[in-house]
Amino acid sequence: MEALKSSFINPIQLNPQPSNYPVQLNSSSIISCSVSLDPWSLSDGNNKPKPKSKNPKNPLSDDNARRIIKGKARYLSALRRNQGSKALTPKWIKRSPEQMIQYLEDDRNGHLYGRHVVAAIQRVRSLSGLPDGSYDMRQVMASFVTKLTFREMCTVLKEQRSWRQVRDFLAWMKLQLTYRPSVIVYTLVLRAYGQAGKIKLAEETFLEMLESGCEPDEVACGTMLCAYAKWGRHKAMLSFYSAVQERGILLSVAVYNFMLSSLQKKSFHQSVSQIWGQMIATGVSPNHFTYTVVINSLVKIGLTDEAFRSFKEMKAMGFVPEEATYSLLITVTSKKEKEKAKGIQDEALRLYQDMRQQKLVPSNFTCASLLSLYYRSGNYSKALSLFSEMERYKVVADEVIYGLLIRIYGKLGLYEDAMKTFEEIEKLGLLSEDKTYITMAQVHLNAGNCEKALDVMEQMRSKKVNFSRFANIVLLQCYIMKKDVEAAEVTLQSLSETGFPDCSSCNSMLTLYMKLGLTEKAKDFINEIRKKQVRFDKVLLKAVVKVYCKENMASDAEQMIQELSKNSLFEDDDDRFIQTISMAICGEFTRLEEADLDSLDPMVFELLLTLCETASKKEETLVKLLLKTGNGLLAASQLVNNLIREGLTWKAETVFEVLLKLGCKPEISTCSSMIYLYGKQNQLERAKHVCAAEKRLYSCMIDVFAKSGKVDEAYLFYQQESKKGDDIGDVAISMLVNALASCGKHREAGNVINDCLFKKMELDTVAYNTFIKAMLDAGRLKFASSIYERMRANGVAPSIQTYNTMITVHGRSRDLDKAIEMFNSAGREGVALDEKAYTNLICYYGKAGRTGEASILFKQMQKEGIKPGKVSYNIMMNVYGSGGGEFYKEAGELFREMQRDGWSPDSFTYLALVRAYAAAHKYMEAEEAIAGFMEKQTSSCAPHYNVLLSAYAKAGLVGEVERLFNQLLLVTGSQPDVGCYGTMFRLYLDHGYVKKGISLFESITGTGGVKQDRFIMSAAVHLYRSAGLVAKAEAVLSCINSLGIPFLNNLQIGSKTDSFIDLNL
């Protein structure tokens, strides 16, 4: 049976057969191995003592030979056990001395076959290079006649590589005296024919085997089945398999694996399922490969429950499933989730966690299925964490995964991240499918940016990506959002070439026509829809009815609804929807009252109410019918909300009044909507009437007062309700205090707060935050601190907004230590600190002159993963600018870091940078900063020049001051502000440049802002007096007095010069 271990059916487990040639063993036997020598070796025994035995059995010429032979036998036996059932190490056999002599004469020692067998194998193999029929096997093998035993002929047959030599050698074997028909011989021939694809020859050989009286065993049948499976003869294979089953032959698991795998590759999954059931019924134990193939096929034919049962059996038997199996089950689970809506998301997650525990790295397909599942279920945080996990395990994302990530970013409103991801796909060269372009365009549409969406679609067209029907639908939505009627109509025409547009596109076109007032086009489009007999959905039907009602064409709407009912042109599976509308239009209310209305869609009544032109008993009847449906009151409340949203306010008011008349209590959201509606219409009394019916709507009422600009009435409303003893609630109180503080009525806001604290009302965090913020705005810092203490005493947990406000309170109180303590308290209590908290404390560090600590805190914020915004960068720059000349390097580095993060510096940024350089006497760098600002900004640069002018003036660099001032006037063309003029006058006064000061004053007397400046006007008086121009000095002084500006008497001329000689300088 060694001959049957071939590469073709290598996995088949063979049952040992008894040898046809029993070997006679005598008492003296020798053990020999029939494999080549290995590096394992033992001593030759010459240096070892002889075995201690008084009566040694069967002594050999070398007394130590038996020890060596037995030792090597034990070694190879252990080696075979370690290799398992498929060990290639042959077993050791015993030979008699005569057999051993023959074994050595045949030169078998260390070789698999004897010399004559090897010669026969090589002789037959040498014929493979000759043409078929050019040799006679009898002449070729003439020298081997009577020299080969039957078993040796089988060995020669087994070692042949060409089917022709197998055929010819078999014909020669049949002529030998030692030949007898055997299933072993025929199995070897079947194997050779099967490997070569000679199925017809194999079938003829199998029939010959049966005719010769040989009963085929499981090996022969398995070989034939594997041949059929390998060459895709599935019909013949299944027929042969049926015959094998009838004979009761038990096949091995390897044969079943071969058959199942072949059927699965050709998508014969039903046959796989049938054979799998028969395999289990016959008691054959499946292995890892069997389960993998079967689970795949069961999933493909929709037998998911059976697939999961097989999966559990597979794990119970100790087999570790492959990643592909996990991926398939996760995918089918995610699809099942999509179908059921509630789904089994936990099952998919459990499978994924189980796969990760097996240390299997997920594939792109697995990750895409999970991301799709997370996207549909709205679990975006897990989707993003999965993407991070993919990066950690170095799973390369493909275009599908990137597309899902773009969708998730779009849903989360992270449009910039979505755009960066799209750009990354393009850079990686993965952008090839239209779905990715469409996804990015939809994200832009959801963000309200139709221009960018159109750019993406044009980019798709430029890359010559084929436009699908869905791409045209998205392009149509872009033009509709852009309100480009002409382009939308062209796109609609292009869409019509692949079939009439869908209901959503038709509805969007109708909405566009009505928004732009193109009612004629809207009516023509409706006629075209009706002419094409488009199947309506509820939304499209509602839009068409609205158009007809707006144009006073209710009869046309009723006619259209009758056509839809008659021709079954409604998409909804529930025909009762359109039938109910038809009955109502025909006035068959009696039949409607008798009908079962529990499961009817409330939109029916919304459409019917839309068709009603005026309030009448018909509307009341419809509302009564609506209340009879399942959750009727809830449906009626939602109907009111929908009517308000659609702009049909008078319809909403009518339905709401009918509900109140019938004694119904609408939903709180509906009452709230009606209060806001009455507030917009300035019908505050009707709003109060609704509020009186529902006490929980005080917040809505106060909000209506605030939005109407009647804060005093809101305050009066609060006082009236408080006198009644009603609990207004913390939400209404918060809104009232916020409205009063926003209007500057801090005293009234304080009264409300004191009243709440006195009554010991139960307030939430938002209410306390509102109180503290109101008192902060009022400047009552101590009161704000006491409110915070009250909040902590009542056990209300502060939020990050509370801590931010309190940092500002203590900062304005110039109590930096308490502000720092408040910041640290937030961190200790586990409140996540945000950018505002860090920036707030950095600002007060800067105001206290503790620039170094502010810088450390800014870096700490960045280490915590908080990216500074433009405001944070500007505040930190301002802190560096105010910190003297010590931090100019840090300011320059922060300026560059800000640009690297994608923030464009503004006027405040450059001003702080110039201030830092000027304080450090880095005048060239300061001028370069100003030049950079002028290149990028269009706003006034006078404040920036003033900072540098002041620095030059303090350093006594008069020439540089004048040069810079002239540059401001002549080069930039900007008008100096009062600060620049004040710096120049201070310079001329301190250094005694009287003539220049007078000249400057006379050149700017036409500037209105200068006449209001106290210092410049006072300096002019002193300059005129120093020059002896008393009349002019008195004139300016009179102007000062007329404007009510205090005059500065203590100004001195030449205070920074050693002697003041020439007044005409």
Neighbour-count burial for 593-627, b at 16+ CB within 10 Å, e otherwise: eebebeebbbbbbbbbbbbbeebeebbbbbbebbb
Q: Which helix (H) or strand (E) holds 777?
A: helix 765-777
Neighbours of 568 (CB within 10 A): 9
For Cα atoms 828, 833, 839, give the angle at the middle one, nearest 5 degrees. 125
Contact between 64 and 48 under an 8 Å Cβ cutoff? The reply is yes
Spans in the chain with pLDDT lower than 70: 1-66, 80-95, 99, 102-112, 336-345, 549-550, 552, 554, 564-709, 724-729, 937-938, 971-974, 1006-1011, 1058-1065
* The length of the chain, given as a count of residues: 1065
| Structure confidence at residue 103 (pLDDT) | 64
Residues 872, 839 contacting (CB under 8 angstroms) = yes
According to the model, what pLDDT value does residue 9 have? 33
Would you state the pLDDT for residue 348?
77
Whether 445 contacts 504, CB under 8 Å: no
Cross-strand partners of 93: 32
DSSP structure string for 536-552: B-HHHHHHHHHHHHHTT
CB 1006 within 8 A of CB 1022: no
Contacts by 924-927 with C-beta closer than 8 Å and gap 24+? 925/888, 925/892, 926/951, 927/964
Tally of CB atoms within 10 A around 148: 21
What is the full DSSP assignment across 464-504? Answer: TPPP-HHHHHHHHHHHHHHT-HHHHHHHHHHHHTTSSPPHH
Backbone angles phi, psi at 570, to 5 degrees: -115, 130
Q: Choose among 489, 555, 496: nearest CA to 516.
A: 489
Secondary structure of 1027-1065 in HEC code, one letter for each residue = CCCHHHHHHHHHHHHHHCCCCCCCCCCCCCCCCCCCCCC
DSSP conformation letters of 354-418:
HHHHTTPPP-HHHHHHHHHHHHHHT-HHHHHHHHHHHHHTTPPP-HHHHHHHHHHHHHHT-HHHH
At a CB cut-off of 8 Å and minimum separation 6, what does 915 contact?
881, 882, 947
**Residue 201 has what pLDDT?**
92
Q: Please list, in sequence order, all residues whose beta carbon lies within 8 angstroms of the beta carbon of residue 60, skipping any fewer than 6 positions away.
A: 30, 66
Contacts of 222 (CB under 8 A, 6+ apart): 9, 12, 251, 252, 254, 255
227: Cβ contacts below 8 Å, ≥ 6 apart: 190, 193, 194, 195, 199, 202, 233
- Contact (CB, 8 A) for 488 and 479: yes
Question: CB neighbours (10 Å) of residue 213?
Answer: 7
Closest by CA position to 328, among listed 309, 344, 304, 358: 304
Report how far apart, in Å, the C-alpha atoms of 318 and of each of 288, 321, 328 are. Answer: 9, 9, 20
Query: 3-state DSSP call for residue 592?
Result: helix
- Inter-residue contact 109 to 30 (CB < 8 Å): no
Taking the C-alpha atoms of residue 646 and residue 898, their distance in angstroms, rounded to an integer, is 46
- Token look-up 């250094």 returns 991
Task: Provide the token pair at 253.
Answer: 């698991």
Helix (H) or strand (E) holding 193: helix 183-196
Contact between 155 and 117 under an 8 Å Cβ cutoff? The reply is: yes
Cα(605)–Cα(326) distance, rounded to whole angstroms?
A: 49
Tell the residue number behind the tokens 């053990």, with chain if given.
31
Residue pLDDT, tens place only, 390-430: 777 777 777 888 888 888 888 777 888 888 888 888 888 87
Integer CA distances (angstroms), 972 to 733, 911, 979, in order: 54, 17, 17
918, with CB counted inside 10 A (0-12, 13-18, 19+), is buried
The tokens for 908 are 């405040």
Half-sphere exposure of 750 (CA within 13 A, CB side): 15
pLDDT at position 93, please? 62
* Cβ-based burial of 265 (10 A; exposed 0-12, middle 13-18, buried ≥19): exposed
Measuring CA to CA, which residue among 546, 444, 534 is closest to residue 492? 534
Enumerate residues 6+ apart whose C-beta is below 8 A from 811. 819, 840, 841, 843, 844, 847
DSSP secondary structure letters along 702-748 = HHHHHHTT-HHHHHHHHHHHHHTT----HHHHHHHHHHHHHTT-HHH
**Shortest CA distance to 261 belongs to which of 308, 309, 233, 229?**
229
pLDDT digits (tens, 9 = 90+) for 955-984: 888 888 888 888 877 766 667 788 888 888
